[in-house]
Amino acid sequence: MQTRFANRFNCLIGPQIELYVFLLISRKFAIISSMSDPEYKPAPQSIPNQIGAEIPYDGCPLCAGKESQLVQEANCGQHPLWQPGLPTQLRWLCCNACSHVFRSAYFSPAAMKLLFSRAHACQVVGVEIDQQRAQWADTVHRVNRLMPEPVWNGRAAVWVDIGCGNGGLVFTSAEFGFQAIGIDMRQAAVEQITALGFNAIVGDIAEMMVTDPVDVISMADVLEHVPYPREALKRVFGSLKPEGVIVVSCPNYDCASWRATSKAGTNPYWGEIEHFHNFSRASLMRLLAQEGFMPVDYQVSRRYKSCMEITAVRTDSCE
């Protein structure tokens, strides 16, 4: 088990607004921010023969259904983030009860530590920063139109970006006038974002508690990485103001490019070592609705192959 300790962040994000975010922070990870880092040395094989790397789901992570069928097996040994100690084979299952597609197991804390000890080139702060700015502008613009009035009119609106990665969405939402704060498990990313004068803290959604509900929470390419997405969405629901906005993006296994690449045997997502779930537009919208969010917009994400982006508003019809 990892040693955990409570920490309290008092993030001043604007002259009059204080956002208190409480996180239980995992022990700091050794971070190598670039895979091309000449100092990089492979981590020791701390999980020999993969023992303990994976925790099998004992049922569907969305509905707890016990019956499922194997839909795909894929090799992940060539994945850029693979390291000794991680599995080389992924098994994807489909729940008989709710049709959710999920991996047979999720990673143990030790395996997650190995995985987060390295980062994709695109996860490095500053990479293609102008392209990132342009790509995120549409997203921020759509969210801004859902606010009671545009944030550039001076309204105080707080935007928390969970899994902020290279900081692109934090930077762009701040540029539009949101009081933006990023949360990410990679300490190097957080340090690089704060070095540019923006707000970011190290943490994990599973440990996030926001005491003052916020206006917007984004999970861009995050939900498919979370072992139990329903629990993550419940946490988001409790952290948002009534009629607050959630933005979720992830691959869409039901779109044409997913089907075509799967048929050709070139779909990268079956061997994506960081993902535990595959959603379709319908399954993601259904999950959001079940957790108290009304989807109000669907878009094709321009950041990754086969990806979608859904904007939804918290409703108070269910708690």
Q: Which residues form the interface with Zn ion (CB under 5 A)?
A: 60, 62-63, 65, 95, 97-98, 100
Residue 169 token pair: 């969405």
Smallest gap from residue 62 Cβ to Zn ion (A): 5
Shortest gap between Cβ of 229 and Zn ion (angstroms)? Answer: 12
**Amino acid at residue number 249:** S
- Cα(307)–Cα(257) distance, rounded to whole angstroms? 9
**Greatest Cα-to-Cα distance within the chain, rounded to the nearest angstrom:** 57
Smallest gap from residue 260 Cβ to Zn ion (A): 27
Question: What single-letter DSSP state applies at residue 33?
Answer: -
Yes or no: say if 94 and 68 are a contact pair by the CB < 8 Å rule: yes
Instruction: Report whether 123 contacts 130 (CB < 8 A).
Output: no
Q: Which is nearer to Zn ion, 100 or 314 (CB)?
A: 100
Q: Distance (Å, rounded) from C-alpha 310 to C-alpha 308? A: 7
250: three-class secondary structure by DSSP = strand
Give the whole-angstrom CA distance, residue 15 versus residue 208: 24
The nearer residue to Zn ion, 67 or 149, going by C-beta atoms, is 67
Is the distance from CB of 87 to CB of 52 less than 8 angstroms? no
Shorter beta-carbon distance to Zn ion: residue 167 or 227: 227
Nearer to Zn ion, 65 or 109 (CB): 65
CB of 52 to Zn ion, least distance (A): 26
- For residue 251, give every residue at least 6 positions away whose Cβ sits within 8 Å of its Cβ, in sequence order, or none: 224, 258, 269, 275, 278, 279, 304, 305, 306, 307, 308
**Minimum distance from residue 102 beta carbon to Zn ion (Å):** 8
Q: Cα–Cα distance between 186 and 225 in angstroms, integer?
A: 14
How big is the chain, counted in residues? 319
Nearest approach, Cβ of 248 to Zn ion (angstroms)?
A: 19
CB of 61: closest distance to Zn ion in angstroms?
8
Give dist(CA 117, CA 201) in Å, integer: 17
Rank residues 62 and 287 by Cβ distance to Zn ion and give the closer one: 62
Residue 61 or 251 with smaller CB distance to Zn ion:
61
Tell me how far apart the alpha carbons of residues 194 and 181 are, in angstroms, rounded to a whole number. Answer: 10
Compare residues 60 and 208 and give the one whose CB is closer to Zn ion: 60
45 vs 290 by CB, closer to Zn ion? 290
**Smallest separation (angstroms) from Zn ion to the CB of 309:** 24
